Structure 1
Amino acid sequence: MGSAENFGASRVVHGTPVVQGLAYGPVIRPAGMPEFDIDAAATVAPDDREAEQEKFSAAATTVADRFSARASASTGSSAEVLAATASLAKDRAWLGTAGKLIADGTPAAAATVEAIDQIAAMFTKLGGLMAERVTDLKDIRDRVVAELLGMPEPGIPNPDEPSILCADDLAPADTAGLDPARVIALATRLGGPSSHTAIIARQLGIPCVVAIADLNDIPAGATAFVDGERGVVGIDPDPKTITSAVAEAGRVAEAAASWRGPGQTADGHRVLILANVADGPSARAAAERGVCEGVGLFRTELAFLDRSDEPSVAEQTDLYRSVIDAFDGDKVVIRTLDAGSDKPLKFVTHPDEANPAMGVRGNRIILSNPEIREHQLDAIAAAAKGTSAVPWVMAPMIATVGEAREFAALVRARGLVPGVMVEVPSAAVQADQILAEVDFVSIGTNDLTQYTMAADRMSPELASLTDPWQPAVLALIERVGAAGAAQSKQVGVCGEAAADPLLACVLVGLGVTSLSSAPAAAPAVGVKLGGVTLDQCVTAAKAAVAADSTSAARDAARTVLG
């Protein structure tokens, strides 16, 4: 597909490409916030305020319970983000603010809007991962207001025919419930390459473009295409041309879907293709696909979110064993709790931080609650007993050699394989020293990109900076890959970059030995790797690192890899 080919569209808009593929169909848009005029709201009489408070509490509880139920019925990333949103729906900050407003006579619906708008404004000022939750807060607001007013729950329409969903942004409850047979592509005005929308689109395997500044030029009801490789959305394309192109893209996707591994380049260089999972059901679903050779990232947060108490060691042991058993005998990498910041724990008193994204999160939770990590490691060790493969365990948000050394000692004492996440630039810079302390590392490209570029990964204005194709980020990955090769230790990537087939080849050229992503993305990555040699990957990697922009890095890699 030529870079200038827009299929005769009358209008095209450009954004950041997230999930490759080509889709064509009518445009739909989500329902907006329930119409409600705060200024016209009457004051609640003093004798009626208690009943108004009860009405509000019932509506807020109903909405939170719906999120929890959807989390329980979902797997993988969907379950994780829905559980986090359920926890946010029960957050005392906005509930308390709304309660005070109602006590002063403000009607429940108006109090809901005012309270959440106050918290959303505060989150926006905080920036980083807290700003990422503003879309979730507004989604909670709209659902509670709709419940109070007896209106239908807002969200995504259920189209009668395969359609393209365009929106300013999408909340987890919307993206997690999408049917890929009905919603065949996503395009958003906001968000970035590692937003919830992007992550869920990869999980569903549908084309996705984010950070499209001019997306409002694409109206609901128009016939449009989404090109997830080039980051283009266009309306009114030539029907014959676009239909032919979509059919060809479908044939390519169908061929990729039949791939079953193992992961290797055309000249036989092995690369482990692994799965990102969040619980036993998602691990079993990944194993049943037959494309992943193990687990490269088991996110353990799901067991801790939306709970008022810490799960017991026995509960955790059952959870971890369910994932280990799903890939019996294969590599399973378990990440210890990555809580804090946008994923607070109800049973932990989190500090009031001006910049939570750079605060007490991940491994740093041991500063105030070391027992949580101890219990988790005990549970992983218990789950490993009697299994045919020893689990690999890694800590998130490691920034120093000392932190890596301390964690490795705890893991080895329990007979497990120690590793750390490389998300903080300091860990990449000191990769050789950190790898001397642990047995492996895994690069989280979402946070590594955000911290390297000093750019909020949810900012649409900064989407080009939070693109993992940034040459500066690739240079840090190159440094980690070289350190791993020098010490014969494995270097994985478990961030969203591992789901991009072209970038996956570049990562292999940088020294990455395993790629872990949503299982739906694995076949396309495996097919792409199987069509190129290791020398091509190395050549493409050098060209991408030497580029001066993300677009130049992509173009340089395409020139070598096709």
Structure 2
Amino acid sequence: MPDTVLTGIGVCPGVVAGPLLRIAAAPALPAPTTVTDVVAEAARAAAALAEVVAELERRADRAGDDTVAEVLRAEALMAGDEELRDGVRELIEAGHDAPHAIDGAFATFREAFEAAGGYLAERAADLDDLRDRAVAVLLGRPMPGVPSPGHRYVLAARDLAPADTADLDPNQVIALVTETGGPTSHTAILARALGLPAVVACPGVLAVPDGTTVLVDGATGRVATGVGDAEAEAAIEASARLTAAASALTGPGRTSDGYAVKLLANVGSAKDVAAADEAHAEGIGLFRTELLFLDRAREPGHGEQVAAYRDVFRAMAGRRVVIRTLDAGADKPLPFLNQEGEPNPALGVRGLRVARQRPEVLTTQLAAIAEARAETGADVWVMAPMVSTVAEASAFVAAAREAGLPRAGVMIEVPAAALRAADLLRVVDFLSIGTNDLSQYTFAADRMCGALADLLDPWQPALLQLVGLCGEAGRAAGKPVGVCGEAAADPRLAPVLAGLGVTSLSMSPRALPAVRAALSSRTAEDCRRLAALAVAAAGPAEARGSAG
């Protein structure tokens, strides 16, 4: 293949080179067969789906990473859905054989997910994986998955399902490149969890022949073919030097002249705290409580929640823990909420808005957080997602205070909240900016849509301008303003965010060393200068270029 440079979205930094191998194709559907025993055929289909569920649960149990395990269990829940089984049975009763009935039922679900948009649209790839696995079981064939050639390689795919990534051997797979997906797709999330350089939304990667040596830059999103050994070695060595230098730095986040920017970790449970400690995190800036609620037919009770929160609070040994109340709703459906379908879930009842319909869910959670805090004496800050108005913020702060929680804030995820940041800070103790959703709503671009990835670039000047409004309001009020979205993990962007007035950055623990190093190489004045240039830029490419 002639020398080519492909460009996608870099979602996990690192530079590697190696032969590219594509994930194998799924088994093709056989020709339809006549069904003579509907009951037996339905039982055969049900058994195949049950085997898929069991295999995914086994993989979840073996997974060494909490994030991987939770994603696999969510996929298993989809495969065991009663409505899906009913759809398969109806198609068999209509004369379809088991493989074609499963294919048809999953196709119906896929159409519904894509029409719903948002989180459900992203799960369409998971449905394809589940269908392929069930068909493979029915045909008695092994499900083609991640290659295991016995040597190191770059894995390429249209998209990666959670089950594909769960058993990746990091001694063989050195990077991930997908043709579709976005900055918050499962591939991106799992790559960061596993620490693999990764590029998503990279058109043309599947046209690269197997065995072609490629150079992957997970920071810039560049994937180059036809790279010579000397060039590849030089790029890898330069990246390794930067990584080593960054890892050697410890201590609080600060610029070279001492301006403090707290470096915090995103976690989902107590199991993630060890990685945060290893990266010398100063605390937790985002404790995602929804992982406790996933795959539950019933809401976890007060006692169970207290135990889960207490484990994290104790593990952090007095450091700050910012805990987010349940971030779920129509776009992240939880069975126990029993929510009806919505025409546009991304704009529907999600985050704090769930309390409008189910106030007891929030009340129970705040009480559990307060009890765990009281038992541990931890420095707990609580924040609500999807807040749009000062009235919503005031109501949440009042509920937190009533529960006995002294520090209450809100997330900035919609432009309305960013525009009224100064008013919000009159009633809340802090702001935390979720750049993933703020990008989505600012640009009216579904964050799961790879085709719109350029609009979701965290270097978009309009997004940075909104961050700057929050930072300016925070400075005026003397209150903290953090970033806990994916933008916080970009080492080049960290000085810009600091210059915009952001006082803390929260990210995957693996990203902390590089961000710490980036901040330490700039003065506070440098940061302010870079921020001004980035906001004034014509577009994200120019903004990124202004950072040098």
Q: C-alpha distance in 1, partners of 2:80/2:347?
A: 24
Two-structure CA RMSD over aligned residues (Å): 1.8
From 349, 362, 368, the equivalent of 2:338 is: 349
Q: C-alpha distance in 2, partners of 1:235/1:496?
A: 28
Equivalent position of 1:83 in the other structure: 73
Equivalent position of 1:551 in the other structure: 541
Cα shift readout 1:507-553 (whole Å, capped 9, x = no counterpart): 11111111111101111111111111111111111111111111111
Equivalent position of 1:3 in the other structure: none
Deviates more, 1:498-507 or 1:413-422: 413-422
- Note the C-alpha offset of 1:557: 1.5
Cα shift readout 1:299-331 (whole Å, capped 9, x = no counterpart): 111111112111111111111111111101000
Pairing 1:38-57 to 2, within 5 Å after superposition: 40-45=31-36, 48-57=37-46
Pairing 1:82-481 to 2, within 5 Å after superposition: 82-287=72-277, 289-416=278-405, 417-481=407-471
Contact in 1 for aligned 2:331/2:350 (Cα 8 Å): no
Distance 1:124-1:410 versus aligned 2 partners, 3 A rule: same
Distance 1:310-1:50 versus aligned 2 partners, 3 A rule: same
Distance 1:396-1:531 versus aligned 2 partners, 3 A rule: same
Contact in 2 for aligned 1:79/1:302 (Cα 8 Å): no
Equivalent position of 2:10 in the other structure: 17
Contact in 1 for aligned 2:118/2:331 (Cα 8 Å): no
2:111 maps to a residue whose letter is A
Q: C-alpha distance in 2, partners of 1:115/1:379?
A: 40
Contact in 2 for aligned 1:130/1:341 (Cα 8 Å): no
- Note the C-alpha offset of 1:106: 1.7
Distance 1:65-1:379 versus aligned 2 partners, 3 A rule: farther
Equivalent position of 1:61 in the other structure: 50
Q: C-alpha distance in 1, partners of 2:275/2:456?
A: 30
Q: Structure 1: which 5+ residue stretches go unaligned?
A: 1-7
Secondary structure at the aligned position of 1:233 is classed as strand
- Note the C-alpha offset of 1:251: 2.3
- Note the C-alpha offset of 1:290: 4.2
Q: Percent of counterpart pairs with the same letter?
A: 49
Secondary structure at the aligned position of 1:347 is classed as helix
2:23 maps to a residue whose letter is P
Distance 1:398-1:243 versus aligned 2 partners, 3 A rule: same
Secondary structure at the aligned position of 1:464 is classed as helix
Contact in 2 for aligned 1:76/1:276 (Cα 8 Å): no
1:11 maps to a residue whose letter is T
- Note the C-alpha offset of 1:394: 0.8
Secondary structure at the aligned position of 1:186 is classed as strand
Secondary structure at the aligned position of 1:44 is classed as coil
Deviates more, 1:196-205 or 1:184-193: 196-205
- Note the C-alpha offset of 1:76: 4.3
Distance 1:83-1:436 versus aligned 2 partners, 3 A rule: farther
Q: C-alpha distance in 1, partners of 2:532/2:230?
A: 40
Q: C-alpha distance in 1, partners of 2:45/2:237?
A: 51
- Note the C-alpha offset of 1:161: 1.7
Cα shift readout 1:121-155 (whole Å, capped 9, x = no counterpart): 22223322221111111111111212222221332
Q: C-alpha distance in 2, partners of 1:339/1:187?
A: 29
Contact in 2 for aligned 1:9/1:238 (Cα 8 Å): no
Secondary structure at the aligned position of 1:463 is classed as helix
Q: C-alpha distance in 1, partners of 2:430/2:70?
A: 25
- Note the C-alpha offset of 1:486: 0.9
Equivalent position of 1:485 in the other structure: 475
1:438 maps to a residue whose letter is V
- Note the C-alpha offset of 1:471: 0.7
Contact in 2 for aligned 1:419/1:440 (Cα 8 Å): yes
Cα shift readout 1:471-529 (whole Å, capped 9, x = no counterpart): 11111000011111111111111111111101111111111111111101111111111
Contact in 1 for aligned 2:119/2:332 (Cα 8 Å): no
Deviates more, 1:460-469 or 1:200-209: 200-209
Contact in 1 for aligned 2:254/2:261 (Cα 8 Å): yes
Contact in 2 for aligned 1:16/1:463 (Cα 8 Å): yes
Q: C-alpha distance in 2, partners of 1:28/1:267?
A: 46
Deviates more, 1:143-152 or 1:548-557: 143-152
Equivalent position of 1:5 in the other structure: none
Contact in 1 for aligned 2:433/2:485 (Cα 8 Å): yes
Q: C-alpha distance in 1, partners of 2:148/2:138?
A: 23
Q: Structure 2: which 5+ residue stretches go unaligned?
A: none
- Note the C-alpha offset of 1:9: 7.2
Q: C-alpha distance in 1, partners of 2:502/2:35?
A: 62
Contact in 1 for aligned 2:255/2:519 (Cα 8 Å): yes
1:91 maps to a residue whose letter is D
Secondary structure at the aligned position of 1:381 is classed as helix
Secondary structure at the aligned position of 2:431 is classed as strand
Distance 1:260-1:99 versus aligned 2 partners, 3 A rule: farther
Length-normalised TM-score, structure 1: 0.93
Distance 1:320-1:114 versus aligned 2 partners, 3 A rule: same
Q: C-alpha distance in 2, partners of 1:260/1:427?
A: 35
Aligned pair count?
546
Distance 1:258-1:61 versus aligned 2 partners, 3 A rule: farther
Q: C-alpha distance in 2, partners of 1:357/1:449?
A: 13
Length-normalised TM-score, structure 2: 0.96
Q: C-alpha distance in 2, partners of 1:129/1:454?
A: 15
Contact in 2 for aligned 1:223/1:236 (Cα 8 Å): yes
